[in-house]
Chains A and B, each alone.
Chain A
């Protein structure tokens, strides 16, 4: 059996601020297997983004260890695809030149990188937008571009931090379906942070629930809905049951 894409073993992380010490994560252990779609949900301040920053090596854990593809690496930068909450597109680069940034970092010549990006651009609904500046794009299009940039890192594991958080409900549903399509088509592994309970259930094979600060894993919930998913599933009793369970766990089901 192949090793897990991501494994956290008893990871704790505390931030020492100027005035007080903030415990962000406490004894977090979980495993993400290849091909899985796992969502992480938790109240704000439960250390969701910290968890990702640890994965990509922006910080080191105080305790415990993090394994990427079964290996414990000191320098984890560039080993997994990472998409932060904000799209962070460079305003001075066209969409095409924005999405090839990870390829440029890997030392691939611009021309080759552009060619590769142009081939995959249509799958991300960005065809005919490649020469626009990001400022000309709608929020949904910007997220698509940011996701394509993450995609072109060429890693089998993608960490997506609330990628659809700032979008309107309709665009969000559209992008959810589209994400599931590309996930299946290209067989990637996704770890997806959200604060939307329905989104967590709709996308995932498995939902990880974090507690309020300091973040601990309260529950891992397997979602036994068949793939491909359809928005109509959200009205089924099975779906409602899972959502209810999560809401109870998060303490907002009153």
Chain B
């Protein structure tokens, strides 16, 4: 990775945006509860750091449990759809429909079922994250070259061997793309879940701060949510590069470079 090329432009842009924000608050003299300055936000974060650390812990726990369940559901659905085309045809429309469900509408029902607490939050994380995992993995499983499958069959491979040796590894890049999307949604989904049906966590911190017109604290929570999402995204990206060295091999990158696409 080229640090200079990949890190200077976004860092410079972010610094520029923060400075503009600071400038706007100073020039316009807006009230802090409408638009706090960056310094207000930092100060609010430090002031409530005890609360924040607890909230971060709760949110990360819900996110982790939710993501684990989303992985199991997503991979399970992808596998079922791959093994039985009938399941694929029957399930696909329902999966799409599940993504159009309004979280605000089902939140009260979830609260009625599970009570305020971690359960509604986990449910919303799973609902938001299993879909990209299921779709990308199901597509990945069908991405193997049919000629390759024919070759293995001609060599006498069983269906199970073909699945393990070709179709599963061929699905991994696509699975990881889905995982990167899902993990990016996961923290936001957890905070939304906490907002509508939780009893603690960053979402609850945000809700209480909003009710108290502590806009600076709302900004703190947003900032932390963003940073957590980026950190988890980077974590997945790092794992991906370790698990798929062939996909990120130097030769491959060179070939892209040569084609002038990068």
Contacts and interface: CB of A to CB of B under 8 A. Distances in A.
Q: Do A and B bind each other?
A: yes
B104 interface: no
A88 B249 contact: no
B169 to A, nearest CB: 5
A88 B161 CA distance: 17
A78 interface: yes
A109 B165 CA distance: 14
Contacts of B166: 90
A101 B246 contact: no
Contacts of A112: none
Interface in B136-151: 145, 147-148, 150-151
Given A86-B147, A88-B145, A105-B161, A77 B247 contact: no
Given A92-B169, A92-B172, A105-B157, 18 more contacts: A53-B150, A56-B154, A57-B154, A58-B150, A82-B151, A82-B155, A88-B145, A88-B148, A90-B148, A90-B166, A91-B246, A92-B170, A92-B246, A93-B246, A101-B152, A135-B251, A135-B255, A136-B251
A77 B246 contact: no
A58 B154 contact: yes
B8 to A, nearest CB: 30
Interface residues of B, number: 24
Given A84-B151, A88-B148, A106 B251 contact: no
A133 interface: yes
A116 to B, nearest CB: 16
A101 B153 contact: no
B153 A77 contact: yes
Interface string A40-53: 00000000000001
B26 interface: no
B247 A92 contact: yes
Contacts of A93: 246
A92 B249 CA distance: 10
A136 B156 CA distance: 28
A56 B147 CA distance: 14
A136 to B, nearest CB: 5
Interface string B156-199: 11000100011001101000000000000000000000000000
28 contacts: A53-B150, A56-B154, A57-B154, A58-B153, A58-B154, A77-B154, A77-B156, A78-B155, A79-B156, A82-B154, A84-B147, A84-B150, A84-B151, A86-B147, A88-B147, A88-B151, A90-B148, A92-B244, A92-B246, A92-B247, A101-B152, A101-B165, A104-B161, A105-B152, A105-B156, A105-B157, A135-B246, A135-B255
Interface of A: 53, 56-58, 77-79, 82, 84, 86, 88, 90-93, 101-102, 104-106, 133, 135-136, 153
A78 B162 CA distance: 14
A58 B151 CA distance: 9
6 tightest CB-CB pairs across the interface, nearest first?
A: A78-B156, A56-B154, A77-B156, A135-B251, A92-B246, A105-B157
A58 B154 CA distance: 6
A107 B251 CA distance: 32
B252 interface: yes
A202 B178 CA distance: 52
A240 B165 CA distance: 47
